[in-house]
Every structure is written in structure tokens, then in C-alpha cells.
Chains A and B, each alone.
Chain A
Amino acid sequence: MSDFPDSHERFISLLTKHERVIRASICAVIRRPEDVDEIMQNVSLVAWRKFETLTDSDGFAKWACVIARYEVMAFRRNKARDRFELDEALIEKITAEAATELPATNRRLQLLDGCLQKLPGERRALVMTAYEPGLRTMDLAEKLGKSVDGLYQLLRRIRLELKECVDRELAQETREGSAL
């Protein structure tokens, strides 16, 4: 146990570094944020227990994503209560593909912050508020004096705008990269 603190620090450091991309891979197949939280918690525990079996730190993200895939499956079998859940074969496909594109996903997440900045102030405030844990769309809509459907449509457009902004930035980087 003498080397425990070092190992622990290394683990936390790697988890901190790659948490965003692991979470994004879970989020692709699990739609409820509270379920994603629970799976993320399980992934971190399992990863810690098995951490000593990981020989190459560079492979941490991919390794953790494999754990995430199993945890998603386990969650689905034991706890899933979502009427609109994807079936196992499809989850397998989506998560396996996700594991092959981790650097791109990481870049996507980085670019998103810039895109968020480009949103007009009120839209940014709205979308950030809407994602606060525990806040119900219905309550927010009431506070804003909007219909629930109107608010949902607005948020949907903002999400689409953000995604397309990231797509554009990535395409631009690809063009610039290939021009060099």
C-alpha cells in the first residue's frame, strides 16, 4: 500500500483528463442525465478497482470506454426503466464506434466551448439554465412565460446550432490541416 497515493493521484489525474469523453460515450446511448451520472459513478469505481491491470496510461480513455460499455449493458439489464431504450446490439455498435473516435470527440468537446461563446448572451443563458440538474422544463417554461413546446423547440434549435457550429469548426480544421 505504500505506493497507494501515487497510484491514486495518477488515477484521478487520468480520470479528470478523460472524464468528458467517457461521459460523452455513455451519453450517446443513455438519454437520461441521472442515469448517465449513475453509470459514470460505476465506471469510475470499476476503473479504480481494475486500475492496476492497466499497463499503458495512454490507453486509459479507450480502456475506460470499454468499461463504460459493459456498465451501460449492466445498467440496461438491471435498472433500465426507460421506455425508449435502444437494444443491446445497437448500443454495442454505437459504443464500439465511439471508442474508435475518442480524439475527435475530445476535440469536438473542446470546440463546443467556443461555439457556446458565440451564442447570443440570452440564448447562452437560457441553454445553461435549462441544463441545470433537477430543473424541469415545465418550471422553466412557466418562469419564462413560454409554452413547454415553445421552449423545447427553442432549446432544440440551440442544440442544433451548437452541433453545426462544431461541425463547421472541425471541417475548417480539417481543411486547414490538409492545406498544410
Chain B
Amino acid sequence: MKDSITTADQRMLDEWRHGRISDEDFARLHQRLEESPELRAELRAFAAVESRLQALAEPGLSLVGEENSPVKSPAPKPLREQVWIPWSIAGLAASLVLWLSLNPVNREAVPPAASAGYTALLVDEAGAEFANQREKGEVGFRAGDYELKKGTAHLRYANGADLVIQAPARFQIKDEMRTVLRSGKVRAIVPPPARGFTIETPQVNFEDVGTEFALNVNAGTGESGMQVLDGQVNLRSKGDSSLLQSVFGGEWIRYRDGLIKNASALDLSGFPSPGNIGYLRWGSERETILSDPGVIAWFPFVREKNESVLTNAQRKGGVPDGRIAGARWVSGRWPGKEALLFDRESDFVQLEIPGEYEELSVAVWLKVDRFDQEMNAILNSNGAEPGDMHLQLTRHGLPRGGLIGVERPVYEWVGNPVPVAKWVHVVQVLSLPERKHSIFVNGELVTKTELEQQDTIAIRPGYCRLGNWLTAASYRHQEPREFRGRIDELTVWNRVLSEPEIDDLIERGRPSLLWDRENPAMVEPLPKP
């Protein structure tokens, strides 16, 4: 039933509801609604979302993460759900007015997670599973006992201190300055406002007066091992908090049964940093990606023994490994992640995507160093035969692509270009049945195209070059199109990706917590394609 609803329909519905629709699209939407019972049901489904959001949105509501979020509630206004209360009735029965004021209609309980008072928030995680019936997606942490059973969790306290916890770990949050680590491994990063942040262990307390340390508590013996990565940590006794020893950057200490022991340094590989979490999370998604039957190729950019091979981890899709020519292995989005650097005219990866497709989606994580050419190829079929696919960036960073031989009656840029020196996620979505070609940058629709009606050309990427274009004979007079920058992931689906799916990909692959999806707008007005 859903098959007949297109993403264009969904876009028009939303644009209509929010007064952003063009006259032309409104006429088209109206016509589609008249004809399609499925689309009318879709409209009602969207309306249900909107009406609920309208009813739930109370001014002054405290929301999870609000203290760390730029979103603040405006000054209180009358509640929407009270507006319609039939005042004439209320006038007839004062007692019911009182009843209504105590039990406002539709003032339902705010979802439990939407209340304030948290000591810390989960800001990132990789496969984290907590005991204590914490639900997946629950982000607030109040004072209390917790057990991390699996994965890695990054908590940020209200004072700005960061704690990265590696499972298995048991801990108790006392308040924003004090946490008890009963067992497990943590890395603490403490900014100046949180100076004095203390981790208590069964036998001794560690007070941070610097910036970063790693701490391990043995579940069986209670022995603790701590290494200061930067700054200073004071070891204090459990009883009178007297200073036992100060430990400085690069030093380590072990403590057991009242004794400070000389021992070897900690193996820091077991103490992930916030930056490592992204890589761990991304790595943990491997099975999810490979089990998607729509994925015909996934190049995770892992350097093999034979460094000229770009491995396609999806072995079922019939897409062979790539051959690296010139491009060099460098670092990718996170420490430990590899990427290929394209910075010479002859750099590229030769790929082959055999077969014919009605729909195709291509997603790439890339970081542009500079735009040297009029067109800068991300992934272009060799030559220019009908059905060949192009995905490239203009000198302005605007994505441009499509299919050779298929005209585009509508072609416009509606979003912000790809900036230089920033990791971005670029997705090209092609659908011949829907006659649509869209390019998203960090989930935002940037290039909007309608394809001409035709039934002779299929999508046939065939032999392609990543980061370059093997020019067709008829284009030999044109400028080369080599890409200048890094690419560290490429995925190809034989279907259309939905916008929420693109959002998921971005969330899973985002380079860091501080990374902002939004890109700067062009200073100049958008050029015509």
C-alpha cells in the first residue's frame, strides 16, 4: 500500500502543512489526494503526529538535555489544549471549572524522560547496554546505581566533566562532583569548572585537579590503577580525605589494601576516549550494514596487506573490490579509521558496479581539501554512455550528478554547498520509476532534480572511478575532474534511501559530538545549474 506514496508526496504534504508549498505543487498535491486513498491515509498519519506534538508542547516544559541544548523555552504562554475548553459550559458549572483546572483536558503526563533534574546525560555510546531496566535511547542519569553490561558509554555531567565508561562496569552517581566506581574502567576528562571532580573507589578516592585520567577498579580485589594523562590527580583517603599522594601527567599509581604499589603502567587501549567512541560505534554497525539486502557494496576503507586493494565488505552484491591507483592511505574520521587521500591529477580508485538498476543510492563520507576544478568527481562512470552515473561537486561545492542520456526538466539547488576541511556525508538517490534524482549533504536536500519520462535507459554505473573521471572522448577538450581531499566510506544500495535512513547513517557515522550537520550557506546567491 505504501509503495504508491513517493517521497515527493511526503515532501509536498509537509510543505503544505507548513505553508511552504508552491502553487504548482499544491495543485499537484490536491490532485494526488483526490486520486489516492493511500495518500489521504498518509496525510492523516502525519496529521496525527502534528496534532499530538501541538498538544504536548507546553511552554516552560523542561526537556532532557535542555541545559546543554541551545533550545530554550520561551516565556510562558497559554496552553493550546486549554484554548478550546468550552467556557460557556464552565460558566454554567463553576465546580467543573475547578475540576478542569485541576485536570486540564489533554494535559497528559509528559513522557517520563522529559523531565529535568539529571546529574549527567548520555552523550554518546557504542553498543551500550545498561542493567536497571534502562531503556535504549534513555539519556538522562540521576543520582543512583548503574551497571554497564556491554559496550561503551560517554556521560557528560552537569558541570561539564566527561566520563567514558567501558563495560563491564558498576558505578554510583552521587552528584555532579562525586561518582563511585565499584568496578570497571573509566576515562575522566575534567574541565576547569568541574575541578575537584572525584571518583571514589572501594578503597581510595581520586580527586581530579587537572584535566584527564584513566582509572581501573578490579571487581574482585578492589585494587585500583590510575594513570594521569594530563594534569594532576590527588589520591585521598576514604576516611578523612587526607592527601595521600599527588600524581602528575604521565605518571601512574596502583592502590590496594591501604598501600600504594609500584607496578606497571595501565594498558590505555582499554580506556576509550570520547573520540574513539565514534569509531567503535561505527565498527559495531558492520553487521547491520551487511545484513541490509539492499546494500550491494560497502567499502569501509580498511587498509589491506595489499595496499592497492579497496575491499568491498559486502561479498553478496556482485561488486568486486576496487583497485587503488595513486590515492594514499591517511587517517579518516576518527583515530584509527583509515581514509584515502586524493591530491594528484592521477589519483583514483577503479571500481566496477555491474548490472542495471531502476533505483540506486550512493553514500560517501568525504572531506574536501580544495576545489581545483570546475567539476570535482566523487564517483563517475568511465566515459559517458547512456545510463552512466555521475556524482561530483562544482567549484562552489554544490553537488551535481545524474544519469547520462536522461534529461532533467527540473534541476535546482535548494541547500547549502559542501564546505572545505569538514567531513560531510553526501548521498545521491536515483529513482527512474519516480523520475527523481536527489543529492543530500548531511541529510539536507541540496540538489533537487526531476528526470524526464523515458523507458529506454537503466542505471548502469559499470566501470567507475572514485575521486576522478576517465573522460569520454567527446569531453576530451574539457577540464579534468579530479577530487582533492579524503574519502573514508562508500556504500551503494540498489534501492532508494529514505530521509530517516539517511539521518541514521549520519548519526552512526558522525565524526564527533561537536560536529555540526549544518553547513554554511553560500555568500553569493546559488548559481544556476
Chosen A-B contacts, 7 in total, with CB atoms closer than 8 Å, are A19-B105, A84-B19, A124-B114, A127-B53, A129-B63, A157-B503, A161-B500
- Residue from the set B51, B85, B136 with the largest chain A CB neighbour count within 10 Å: B51
Asked whether any CB of chain B lies closer than 8 Å to the CB of A162, the reply is yes
B41 touches A132 (CB 8 A): no
User: Given A4-B93, A31-B17, A45-B88, A98–B49 Cβ distance below 8 Å?
Assistant: no
Given contacts A8-B93, A19-B106, contact A121 B64 (CB under 8 A): yes
Q: Which residues of B contact A147 (CB under 8 A)?
A: 416, 518, 521
In the complex, chain B residues whose CB is within 8 Å of the CB of A129:
57, 63, 71-74
A173 sits at the interface (CB 8 A): no
A81 to B41, CA, bound (A): 25
Quick one: which of B479-500 are within 8 Å of A by CB? 498-500
Interface 1/0s, chain A 123-140, versus B by CB < 8 A?
A: 011111111111100011
Instruction: Please state if A24 and B47 are interface contacts (CB–CB under 8 Å).
Output: yes
Cα of A152 to Cα of B11 in the assembled complex, Å: 12
Q: Of residues 71 to 111 in A, which have CB atoms within 8 Å of B's CB atoms?
A: 84, 86-87, 89-90, 93-94, 97-98, 101, 105, 108-109
Contact of A36 with B54 in the complex, beta carbons under 8 Å: yes
Nearest A residue (CB) for B140 = A121
Residues of B within 8 A of A11 (CB): 89
B95 at the interface (CB under 8 A from A): yes
CB contact between A132 and one of B44, B51, B74, B137 (< 8 Å): that residue: B74
CB-contacts of B17-40 with A (<8 A):
17-21, 26, 30, 33-34, 37, 40
**B14 with A24: CB separation less than 8 A:** no
Closest A residue, CB atoms, query B106: A19
Query: Would you call B55 and A159 a contact (CB within 8 A)?
Result: no
* A144, CB-defined interface residue at 8 Å: yes
The answer to whether B84 and A94 have CB atoms under 8 Å apart is no
* Complex contact A131–B57 (CB within 8 A): yes
Contact between chains at A94 and B78 (CB < 8 Å): no
CA–CA, A175 and B11, complex, Å? 29
Q: Contact at A112–B500, with CB atoms within 8 Å?
A: no
A160 touches B51 (CB 8 A): no
B11 to chain A, nearest CB (A): 8
Query: A37–B55 Cα gap in the complex (Å)?
Result: 10
CB of B471 closer than 8 Å to a CB of A: no
CB <8 Å contact, B49 and A97: no
Does B40 lie within 8 Å of A97, measured CB to CB? Answer: yes
Q: Assess the B51–A36 pair: CB atoms within 8 A.
A: yes
Q: Name the one of A15, A130, A144 contacting B70, with C-beta atoms under 8 angstroms.
A: A144
Name B31's closest neighbour in chain A (CB-CB): A90
Separation of A26 and B44 alpha carbons in the complex (Å): 9
Kindly list 13 other residue pairs between chains A and B, CB separation below 8 angstroms, not including A16-B105, A20-B55, A133-B80.
A9-B96, A38-B84, A44-B84, A45-B89, A48-B88, A84-B16, A86-B33, A87-B30, A112-B52, A118-B137, A124-B64, A129-B71, A163-B49
Number of A-B pairs, beta carbon distance below 8 Å: 237
For the complex, give the distance between the alpha carbons of A38 and B80 in Å: 11
Cβ-defined contact, B33 with A27, below 8 A: no
Q: Which residue of A lies closest to B99 (CB)?
A: A12
Q: Is the pair B61, A128 in contact by a Cβ cutoff of 8 Å?
A: yes
How far is A54 from B77 in the complex, measured between Cα atoms in Å?
35
* Contact assessment for B51 and A23 in the assembled complex, using a CB-CB cutoff below 8 Å: yes
A132-B59 in contact (CB<8A): yes
> Do A112 and B48 have beta carbons less than 8 Å apart?
yes
Residues from 153 to 167 in A contacting B, C-beta threshold 8 Å: 153, 156-157, 159-164, 166-167
Q: Determine the residue in chain A with the shortest Cβ distance to B107.
A: A16
A156 CB → nearest B CB, Å: 5
Contact A117 B30 (CB under 8 A): no
In the assembly, what is the distance between CA of A8 and CA of B96, in Å? 8
- Does B10 make an interface contact (CB < 8 A)? yes
With an 8 A cutoff between CB atoms, is B362 at the interface?
Answer: no
**CA of A25 to CA of B518, assembled, Å:** 35
Chain B: minimal CB distance from A35 (Å):
11
Residues of A within 8 A of B96 (CB): 5, 8-9, 12
Instruction: Give every chain B residue within 8 A of A27 (Cβ-Cβ).
Output: 47-48, 50-51, 54
Partner of B444, one of A25, A119, A124, A150: A150
Cα distance, A131 to B77, chains bound together (Å): 12
Q: Do residues B86 and A156 form an inter-chain contact, with CB atoms below 8 A?
A: no
Query: Does B511 make an interface contact (CB < 8 A)?
Result: no
Question: Do A28 and B43 form a contact, CB below 8 Å, given A8-B89, A44-B86, A116-B111?
Answer: yes
Q: How far is the CA of A126 from the CA of B86 in the complex (A)?
A: 31
Asked whether A125 and B71 contact (CB < 8 A) given A116-B111, A157-B443, the answer is yes
State the CA gap A93–B37 with chains docked (Å).
9
Q: Which residues of B contact A40 (CB under 8 A)?
A: 83-84
Tell me whether A121 and B139 are in contact in the complex, defined as CB-CB below 8 angstroms, given that A44-B85, A133-B78, A150-B444 are known contacts.
yes
Residue pair A105, B44 in contact (C-beta under 8 Å): yes
A128 to B66 CA separation, bound complex (whole angstroms): 11
A41 neighbours in B (Cβ, 8 Å): 83-86
Closest to A156 in B: B14
B113 within 8 A of partner (CB):
yes
